[in-house]
Each structure stands twice: as C-alpha cells, then as structure tokens.
Amino acid sequence: MQQPHTLEGKVLSAKGWVQGRIEIEKDRIAAINGTSLAEPNIAANAQDCSYILPGFIDLHVHGGGGRDIMEGGDALTTVARIHASHGTTALLATTVTAPKATLETVLTAIDRYMQDVPLAEGSRILGVHLEGPYINAGKLGAQPDFVCAAQLEEIEQYLQRVPIRVVTLAPEINGHHALIRQLTARGVRVQIGHTLGSYEDGVAALAQGASGFTHLFNVMTGLQHRAPGIVGAALAHGEYAELIPDLLHVHEGAMKVALRAIPRLFCVTDATSATAMPDGEYRLGTHTVTKCLGGVRLADGTLAGSMLTMDQAFRNLVKIGLSLADASHRLSLYPADYLGLTDRGRIVEGAYADLVVFNRELELQAVYVEGKSIAITNVK
C-alpha cells in the first residue's frame, strides 16, 4: 500500500485556517490535522511561514508559453505546463471566434488531449470555454471577426466532440434567449459577454438561465445612470462573474465595486500565448498580438487578452486589500462551485490533492496537481 506524503504549514481548509498538516495519498487528500487559526497576518508571520491553499482554477485560458489553444496538438501540453508552474491546477481551454471547421478541429484535439494525454506536469484541462463565435460584431475586442448567430444543432455537434463547460454569447442577438434555456438544460454555463446589449437584455438573459459574465467591464456596455448596460445588470443581479485582476484591464476602484456587488465574483487570467514569454509578437487565433509595456495588444492598441498568471492574480488581489482567504476563494473555490465541482477548489478530505504553497512574501513555492509535484518556473 502506498504511504501518504505530507505538507505542513498554515492550511486554508474548507472549515477555515488550520496550523497543521495535510496527508496526501495517491491523488487525494487523505487527512487534515492541526489546530484552528484566525486569518493570518502576513506582516507578523515568520520568514519561513508556508501558506497552503487550494490549487487555482482558471476558467478562461487562451494560451501560454508561446503557444495558442487554437493550435491544438502539443500546444495544449505547453499551455497546461506553463500555467501549472504558476499555480493553476485545473483550467478550461478557451477558444476564440473561428470558422466552424476550425473550431471542430480544435475541439477534437482538446478532447483527444483530455482522453489520451496523461497528467504530465501540467494543469488538468476540465473542458472548453467556447468564447464566441456567438458574440456581437460591434464588440469584438480582440476576437477575430468570424461572428455568427448561435444554432443549437451546431453547438450540440461541438458537445459531441468535447465537454463544453462554458459558452460566452451576446444575449441581444436574435434567438439567443431561447438558446440560453436550452444550453442551461444541458448543463452548460452560459456567460454574457462581447455584447452591445442593454441592462434589460442582461436581466432577461439571467432570467433565461445565464449564470455569469465574461471578463466583467471589458467589451460590454458600461454603467451609466440612465443606461445601466450589461455592467449594471451584472452588478445589480449577478451571483457569478469573471474578472481579470491584472490591474490593467480593470481599475482597482472598479474591481472593488464588483467585489462588493457580486457575491461570488471569480478571477481569470484570459492568458494568451504571450504569457510567461519575453516581449515580442505572438498569436491569438488568427491575430498577431504584441506583448510590450506590461500588456498584450493588437496593432491598434486594443487589449488582446493578458499575460497574467494565477499566482500574480493572487498577489494582486491581496495588494488591493483582500484577505488571503478571500483572494484564494476567488481563484479556486468560486470557480469550482461555478462548474459544480465538489472535489476541487477546496482543501477537504477526499478532494483531489490540488494544492499551492506560498511563502510569507506570497512567492509560489510548490504546486501539486492531483498529488503530483509540479516544477516551478519564473518564481520572483
């Protein structure tokens, strides 16, 4: 019988902070032992303090390490390894708008990876976030212009190829309200994004079963006092929404508004192939994007995803005032709950041993994906 191995430190368990030990057996958490703690004070903790948190779950990843999800094949391995080395233990492979034949090829490749590729020092790919092509051509952002109205038959063909966990669409497009009901009934999370819709469109979409908002504030109608827009619908009625906490896509003040208004706001990277790479030119679907001056942009200056990693997202959330526990929940627990996962995103007996370890300076020290230790790169 395989003997468990252990991790010791300040553990953010499902019941709160514990000073103690986690026992890992194979790919699961076998036991948690220790004494209860109050929320740790970073400044007061010893230099050798270790914080053990649930592994991060990123529901919006386009690429990393110079590779783009739309390439399929070994690009998926590179992306999974890069993000795991920054604390992401599970993710959704996120597509961009593309012709149907291209999407079919990519989705087949993702499913093949999920079925055939062993966990090789990388994040577990849980399925697909289909970001478009069912968006508004007037709010492309950095999406290639292959927009079309959604048809249930087409999406069902995609569902037969790979588990699609999230679909982003613009609710104002004719026929999309009915589609929201149909997709929700099939267990797909529908998010509102890349939209010119009104506040009323957003509220109606939520009533039909839409459950989230894609990169809140970005490429959607903003909040005005006589035209609250999709942002207003999210702030007034949303339970879940994505946010990119790179401190570039969204101002710190707007982040705090969303954190106060949306109970289970969770954070994503929207990472591109430029993530964990030097400045230069990279791919986002059919687009060429440039990484420079702390961001990733199209030639006209439009933000084109990000170069964010989840360990940096964690530090950014703490920097703007969130507690360690609150920051952790928005990167692990809430995205897990959003997908209906009870065996990830939390430290509890029987859950997958998806764990990250930080030191007092919140530098990433160790990552475990389903009990397997992952090599750490680019630690600051």
Residues annotated as part of the active site: 270
CA distance 183 to 19: 43
CA distance 20 to 302: 47
Torsion-angle region of residue 350: left (phi > 0), alpha (psi -120 to 50) or beta? left
* Nearest of 125, 117, 128 to residue 161 by alpha carbon: 128
Is 335 in contact with 59 (CB distance < 8 Å)?
yes
Show the CA angle centred on residue 358, arms to residues 352 and 361, nearest 5°.
Answer: 165
Is 95 in contact with 301 (CB distance < 8 Å)?
no
Q: How far is CA 336 from the centre of its chain?
A: 10
CA distance 97 to 70: 10
180: tokens are 């929201």
Radius of gyration of the chain (CA): 20
Q: How far is CA 376 from CA 26, 370, 379, 380, in A?
A: 21, 16, 7, 11
Name the β-bridge partners of 372.
369
Name the β-bridge partners of 352.
28
Show the CA angle centred on residue 135, arms to residues 146 and 56, nearest 5°.
Answer: 105
Is 255 in contact with 243 (CB distance < 8 Å)?
yes
* Nearest of 144, 127, 167, 141 to residue 341 by alpha carbon: 127
CA distance 274 to 292: 10
Is 67 in contact with 79 (CB distance < 8 Å)?
yes
DSSP state of 306: B
